[in-house]
Structures are given as C-alpha cells and as structure tokens.
Structure 1
Amino acid sequence: MKKVPLFITAIISVLVAFCSPSNNQTEGEKPVYMWFDCEANYERLSYPDSIRYYLKKVKDIGVTDVVVDVKAIMGETLYDSEYAPYMGEWEGVERSRDYDMLGIFIEEGKKLGLGVHASMNVFAGGHNFHNRGIIYEDHPEWQSINYWCDSIVPISEMKWHYNGMLNPALPDVQKYQLNIIEEVVSKYPKLDGLVLDRVRYDGITSDFSQFSKKAFEEYAGVEVENFPDDILYWVQDENGEYEWKQGKHFKKWIEWRTSVIYNFFEDAREVTKQANPDIQFGTYTGAWYPVYYELGVNWASKRYDPSKDYDWATENYRNYGYAELLDLYMTGLYFYEVTIEEVEKLNEVAMEKRGEAAMGEGKDYWYSVEGSAQLANKVIKGAVPVTGSLYVEQYEQNTGQFKKAVKMAYNKTDGLMIFDIVHIINKDWWQVLENAISEARQEE
C-alpha cells in the first residue's frame, strides 16, 4: 500500500480541525477549551459527581471542549498503566487503581456534547519539591543532566527548580513515552484529542550528559574537544552573577536538539494515528518563539525560515518545524499586557525612569497577548489552527484585564484555551469568563 505524503495528510488534518466542531459548538464557531490540571484538581476530580458538576459548569458558560491531564510531571499516570506508575495519592488524598477518571470525563462529557482531550506531560519525570517521580525511583538514569553555572549536575539536585525533566534524546525515554501515548489512545477510543505538553528540553542548560555529547558529535560530524564550553559557557559579572554565552558549536547544537524533538513528534504522530486515525494530535507550547529555541523546540511551519529573523537559527533549523505534524496547536499567550500598545507604554515609562541612556531598551511587541498571537500566526503560516491560551492567575484580581485578554486571544487566533479551571474556581470568575466568551463571540 502506498504511503500518503506527509504534506497531504497535514492538509487533510487542518481541514478536519477547522471544519469539524464539537457538539457544543455551533457551525463556524471557534472552540473554547478548559484545562484540568491533574495536581491542582486532584481531590475535586477524585469523585464522579464532582466531575459531572464541573463539566456542567463549563458547558453552561460556553466552553466547547475540555483538556484533562492523564500524566503528571512526576511521570505518573492518572489511569492504570502497564508502563508508568499510578498516581494513586496526592497531598493526602488517595484513589484506587481502578478509578477511571478519564473514562468518567469521556462518558459524562459526551452526554453534554463536550469534546474531551487527554493531555500528557511527556518529557517530565519528577517533582523536585516533593522528591517524587520516576527520576527518583525507577529511572534516575533518565534525568536531564544540566550545565548550571560552574557545575554539571543531575536535575534532581536542582532543588530550586520544581520540574524534574528527562533527557529527550535517550532512546529508552522516547520508547517509554511512545508506549504510553499508544496506550492512552488505544485504551480510550472515544477520545477526541491528545495534547502533548512538555515535549522539550528543560532549558538551555540541558542536556549535557555524555550520551548527548556523543549523539551531537555524530549528528554534526564534529569532535567537541572542550565539552561543554564549546557548546556554551558561563561568565561572571562584577557582582558575581552568572550569565551563559554561546560556544563555537552552539548553533549546530541548537539545531541538533530541535531535530531530536522533531523526530519524536514524527514518531508520536505515527503511533497516535495508528491507534486511532480520527483522533486530533496536538501539543501545547509557550508563545515566546524568539527564545523558545532554548527548549529545543521549533513549533513553526517548515515554510517559515527563522534564520532570516534570528541569529541563533541555522539555515537548516527551519526543517525541524513541526506545525505540519499537528491537528491542534495551543500556544501560551501568557502575558499580563493584552495589547501591543500597553507594552509600548510600559517601555516609555521605563525609559523615562532610566533616562536617555536606556533608549532602545524595553520589551518587544510580543510580550503581550496581541503581539504573541500575531507572532504565532506569522510563524505557523496556517499549517494548523492556533488556539490562543491564557494563564488565569496572571491577572490576579483584575477582571477587566482578564476579560480583555479572553476577547483578544479568541479573536486573534482560531480558538481559546483557559488554564486552569482551578483559578476560575478559586476566584469565582464563572460569570466573568462567561461574559467574556459571549462578548468575544459577538465581536467575531
């Protein structure tokens, strides 16, 4: 049987994503997603009645789809897995292994006409504040090795950093994650979508293991004589503060890491579609593209060439843009400032305070909901619908700013995601969000 070219399947996926609304959407209406974080909502999602209650609440305010965490940052799953440990307890609340949280979400969500999507923290394996997770128990050898200031250290020793990430380049890590992805999609055939989160490196300081060194040398066809400083190195200023600098192989290293993530996405899509050809395959990333290379990720379209805009990108970097592999893309427009104009005013005030010497300094336009949505659309180039996502806690008690952000994200992208329901509950912003969604739809 002839294999369908990737670009054809990508076009079909985009058309399906645009043209197939969930039951809670009217035709032509953009989707609105509510995210349910597994840790923040562990207790309230431990009871079927509670799940039913909150699904009805989100449906009533205009939400069309829900996203439910099924794999925590510790590497533990919220369902009974053959591969990963079960998250049967959190902060003193316990669940039995046969408690089927996702199954309840699917059954009850379908009754209400809600789309139900499972989310997974992929290359995350530990919670450093709790000394818990697979990097502490089953697989310490999988954890990220970070080059931090003057030391190379396992990430589990970085206790100021809560997220115990894995090394994405390790074949055993990738196989493990692909097994879990296939398991979830096969176990829950009525799922509407899969949203992969944390498909990335920990940051610019990872991974500096000997495995990564050898893998990079093989990819680049070079021998790194002075490792890790030929990749990046640290300097101290007059106040003793550390700052990293680019080594001579830095740009190729950035390209290689991005190839690792791209290749994993290819495999993950294939595994997902083999298990369920109709499921939407998606991911979440932050929207700050100009610095997202630090995480080893290029979420842009292959048709966008970042080397023309940014000095960190090689000409080959564009080939690892994975937008065409996606049916669903959620981008974190995680900024308090909503409009580009607000950022410009902030810069003006900052320059007035610092004087003329500060001319030219300040935040770029994309440090705003409007600006980051604009940038996301620019680099995605229509390869996949862009869902503008908001972090509710950023708006503190400012309901006006939050409503403005909701309307901006909804109207400047192809949909809206709210992270997370716990903040709507704690702030009692149900009516605020309902009004904002309604007004956004009227303005559309």
Structure 2
Amino acid sequence: MSFSFCTASKKTWEWEWDQESPVDNSDKPRFICIDASANFPDYANSKENILRDLTLAKDAGFTDIQVLVRPTNGDALFKTDKVDQVKWLSYWDNGVQRQLHRTAEWDYLEAFIEAGHSLGLKIHALFDTFTGSRRNSLGHTGLLARDPSKKHWASSLLQADGTIKNGLDADAGETVFFNPVHEEVQEYLLGLLEDLATNYPDLDGIIIDRGRFADLNSDFSDYTRAKFEQYIGTSLTNFPADVVTGEMVASSSLPSQLPPYFKEWIEFRAKTIYDFMGKARSRVKAINSKLNFSVYVGGWYSTYYTVGVNWASKSFDAAKAYPKWASSKLKDYGYASLMDYILIGAYAGPTRIYGDKEWSVQGFCLQAKDKIKSDAIVIGGIDIGNGAWATTDRDIVNQAVVESIVTATNSSDGCFVFDIIHLKKRDQWAFAKEGIRKASAAK
C-alpha cells in the first residue's frame, strides 16, 4: 500500500474548513502508539525508561497506551511457548540501520502494564497479525526465517509477469506475510492471542494490526485457489488471470474490463478476514470477557479492498458507493460489529487537516464514522513523523499536531497519535498536550 502526502507550504494552508458543531470530548479515549523497533533502544532493557515516558504521556493527557508486542518479524514480547522471544530488533539512527539486542529477562508487556496502571493508564497489546518474518541488511528473523517446514505458510505472490512466487523467494520488501487463508496459520495465531488473554489478566485490550493480506498480489497459492474454487462452486481454467492479472499488480489500478471472477475474489478475501476476526474475538472473550478486542486499519476504504478487508458495518453497502470493485454480497463481510474499537489511520499530511473526503484528517474520520455507523467506537489517528510530516517546516508541523488532535477527536470518538518516538525525538509533548487540552475543552 503506497501513501500519498501533499507537500506543504504556507500558501497551501488548509485550516479554514468550518469545524463541526462543538461536542463533549472530555471522556473520549486518547491513545498513543509505541512501536517496538523504533523504541527498542529505550525500552528493551529499561523499566525506568518505560515509566519515564508513560509519565510524560499521562501528563500530556493520553489515557490509553498501545504497545506493540508482536512486531513484524512475528516473534514475541509477551509470555508464550508457541514462538521465540524477540532477541533483537533493528532501528534507524540518523539514517543508519542499527541492531539492538534485548538482554533483560523481565516481562516486556508486564512492565508496561505495571507502569501504566500505576499512572492510571489503560494498556492495550498491539499485535501484528499475518506477518511471519522480517529481513533486512542486518539479518532475517522470525518463524519463517527459522523453520523451513513452514514455508507453505508464507503468502504466494503474483508477479507483474504473471508468475507466482512464494514470499520467501520473492523480492517483496522487508516483511514476509503469512497466507491468511491457511487454516494452520489461523490456528497458530489464534493460539498466540489466547496466550495474551490468558497470561495477562490485567491487560485492558488487544488491538489487531496487519490483520490483512499483504496486498492485491496475495495470496495465489494452490491452497488458496482450492479454497476459492470451493467458495464459488466451480473450477477455474485460467488462474490467476480469472481473478487478478499481473498487469493489475504492476499498475496498482483496475482495468476497464475486470477479470470474470474479480469481485468474487474480493468477497472471498474479505470473508477470510471476517471469519478470522470472528474466531479471534470469540477465543479472546471466552478467556476474558472484559478484554477489549479492537483493530487498527487504514482510513483509505476506497482502496482498502486490495488488502482483503471490509472494516465497515454490514449496513454499509460498498456496492452502491464503489460499484467498480464491490459486489452486493461484500457487505455481509463487514466486520465492524466484531470490534470494540476501530482505530482509523487518518494519515493525511500536516496541511491536509480539514475536509469531508479521504486524504484529510477530518475526512478520514467522518468517512469512517459514516461507514462504521455505531457498530464500534471509532478512534481517528495521525502519523506525525512520516511522509510530509517529516519534511514540512517545523512550525507548521508543530501546529498541525495540535490541530490534528483536535480535529480527529471532534470528528470521531477519540484520537490516537503514532508514534511516541516522534514526540520524543522532536520534543513535541507540549503540542500534543495543547491539542488534547483544546479537544477536551470542546463542548
């Protein structure tokens, strides 16, 4: 999934959009994200640093912490006997990728729970889901890197030339995804989620991240083909071209004439994720009914079908809004009602705050509220460190932190900020605090 950000200048300032009528935001949750890799140098081996920074988050007005405990390599930062513990993670330091080893033996997630609860903060375990390993210049880690017998769990990716390659053999970026269709993969992940729910009775919530296919180019294994043919009730004579072509993967666009089973393929993938989310919620709630079960998704619903997800309410008919790619049956696989919270990535640039369409912070939030209805609590969030946020004038960015928090909070049921590392590196705590203060004061 590629991102589109707009270059900022004072001439293109877009903060003149009329706000909605003021609302009471005082009780709305305010999340801050804690990525594993970026923050590993501070937190991997220091409980003191964890308490220090959660204290800063509390002082700024955040109410909820989401801490990544299953990074993209798929290893664990929580108690489980089903996969290895994280031994090291890579992070960026002034443009250089470095390696940080974890030598501490104390429980990483429990340290966040203890520190957070001592401050009155709620702690949610963020769980990267359909990721099986991560590879870069420093090494290849994760289950798919260690266990050759699990190679069939990796997604099979459609190439631009129409061939199909296992993700471990393809040049497809650092993260190697599992095949979400595979029942063995699903059962493995459900077991990990059960361990989270069982081993941390004081945990406040679990948030699913990357609960999706890698992209439109996955999964094209023989296993998935057989499952799809079972779904449509017929055998395909021209697979994968009957569902997706290499040209579609290469261009990241839809042709005027779609393959004959394209819409059914979109349905099938959405059903796969819908069914998994239902099973995951049931397994978690059976262990701890008070544990919130939630999900993070990108707000760009108009193109999110490429990763096999329908995060809307079943009462939202995507076929009417997006007839090009959505069938009338797709609405049956909207999973909003399965979630306690849906965290929406409202990842527009710092000069794209206001609007009513996608690619503005406000628009992402309003569109999500419309699609999700009242099926789940909608939390709009901003990424304050990537894309145009990293290159725009610092004074503009600082004010955008304030305005984006206010706007996301006003336009949804709360807000989240990605990531704590950006607030720390750029010393933007005061701007986050001001945004939360202004948002909380809105009546």
* TM-score w.r.t. length of structure 2: 0.85
- Are 1:133 and 2:142 matched, yes or no? yes
2:372 equivalent to 1:380: yes
Q: Give me the whole-angstrom Cα distance separating, in 1, the residues matched to 2:321 and 2:213.
A: 23
CA apart distance, 1:143 = 0.7
Tell me, in whole angstroms, the C-alpha distance in 1 between the residues paired with 2:101 and 2:252.
43
Is the contact made by 1:88 and 1:97 (CA closer than 8 Å) also made in structure 2?
no
Q: Which amino acid is 2:343 matched to?
A: M
Q: Map of 1:54-133 to 2, 5 A cutoff? A: 54-91=53-90, 92-96=99-103, 98-129=105-136, 130-133=139-142
CA distance in 2, matches of 1:375, 1:428: 32
Matching residue of 1:8: none
Report the Cα offset of residue 157 of structure 1: 3.5
Gaps of 5+ in 1: 1-25, 342-363
- The residue that corresponds to 1:31 in the other structure is 29
Superposition RMSD on alpha carbons, in Å? 1.9
Q: 281, 305, 315: which one pairs with 2:328?
A: 315
Q: In the alignment, is the contact (CA less than 8 A) between 2:25 and 2:441 conserved in 1?
A: no
Query: What aligned pairs does 1:144-183 form with structure 2 within 5 A after superposition?
Result: 144-150=155-161, 151-159=163-171, 161-183=173-195
Distance 1:223 1:383, change over 3 A: same
The correspondence of residues 31-430 of structure 1 with structure 2, limited to 5 A, is 31-46=29-44, 47-91=46-90, 92-96=99-103, 98-129=105-136, 130-138=139-147, 139-150=150-161, 151-159=163-171, 161-235=173-247, 245=255, 246-311=258-323, 312-336=325-349, 337-340=351-354, 365-394=357-386, 395-396=389-390, 397=394, 398-430=397-429
Alpha-carbon distance between aligned partners in 1 of 2:228 and 2:207, rounded to the nearest angstrom? 28
Distance in 1 between residues matched to 2:233 and 2:425, nearest whole Å: 54
Task: Report the Cα distance in structure 2 between the residues aligned to 1:277 and 1:247, rounded to whole angstroms.
Answer: 44
Report the Cα distance in structure 2 between the residues aligned to 1:27 and 1:381, rounded to whole angstroms.
19
> How much has 1:216 moved relative to structure 2?
0.1
Higher relative contact order (CA 8 A, sep 6+): 2
CA distance in 2, matches of 1:80, 1:187: 7
Query: In the TM superposition, what whole-angstrom CA distance separates every residue of 1:401-427 from its partner, at most 9, and x where no partner exists?
Result: 222211111110101111110111111
2:157–2:170 CA contact under 8 A, matched in 1? no
Gaps of 5+ in 2: 1-23, 91-98
Determine if contact 2:25/2:442 at 8 Å carries over to the other structure. Answer: no
| SS across alignment from 2:123 | strand
In the alignment, is the contact (CA less than 8 A) between 1:70 and 1:79 conserved in 2?
Answer: yes
Does structure 1 conserve the Cα–Cα contact (< 8 Å) formed by 2:25 and 2:440? no
What is the CA distance between 1:34 and its match in structure 2?
0.9
Distance 1:274 1:242, change over 3 A: closer
Equivalent residue letter for 2:176? G
Shift of 1:199: 0.6
What amino acid is aligned across from residue 132 of structure 1 in structure 2? T
Query: Residue type of the partner of 2:352?
Result: V
Measure the CA separation in 2 of the matches of 1:90 and 1:37: 11
1:244 Cα offset (Å): 6.0
Query: How many angstroms apart in 1 are the aligned matches of 2:89 and 2:111?
Result: 19
Q: How many residue pairs end up in the alignment? A: 394
Q: Is the 8 A contact 1:235 1:244 kept in 2?
A: no
Residue 314 of structure 1 aligns to a residue whose secondary structure is coil
Indicate if the aligned counterparts of 1:232 and 1:244 stay in contact, CA closer than 8 A: no
State the distance in 2 between where 1:400 and 1:440 align.
14
User: Which secondary structure state, in structure 2, belongs to the residue aligned with residue 229 of structure 1?
Assistant: coil
Deviation at 1:158, TM superposition (A): 3.8
1:133 deviation in Å?
A: 1.9
Residue 260 of structure 1 and its aligned partner are, at CA, apart by 0.5
SS in 1 for 2:305: helix
Percentage of pairs with the same residue: 31
* 1:382 Cα offset (Å): 1.1
Q: Structure 2: how far apart are the matches of 1:163 and 1:406?
A: 30
1: distance between equivalents of 2:192 and 2:104?
Answer: 17
Q: Contact conserved, 2:32 with 2:416, CA < 8 A, in 1?
A: yes
Superposed CA offset, 1:250-293 (max 9, x none) = 00011001100000011000000011011111010001111111
**Cα distance between partner residues in 1 of 2:326 and 2:251:** 27
Is 186-195 or 103-112 further displaced after alignment? 103-112
In structure 2, give the amino acid aligned to 1:332: G
1:338–1:405 Cα contact (<8 Å) kept: no
- Which AA in structure 2 matches 1:137? R
Paired amino acid for 2:143: I
Q: What letter corresponds to residue 140 of structure 1 in structure 2?
A: K
Contact 1:62-1:438 at 8 Å conserved across structures: yes
TM-score relative to the length of structure 1: 0.85
**Are the counterparts in 2 of residues 70 and 120 from structure 1 also a CA contact under 8 Å?**
yes
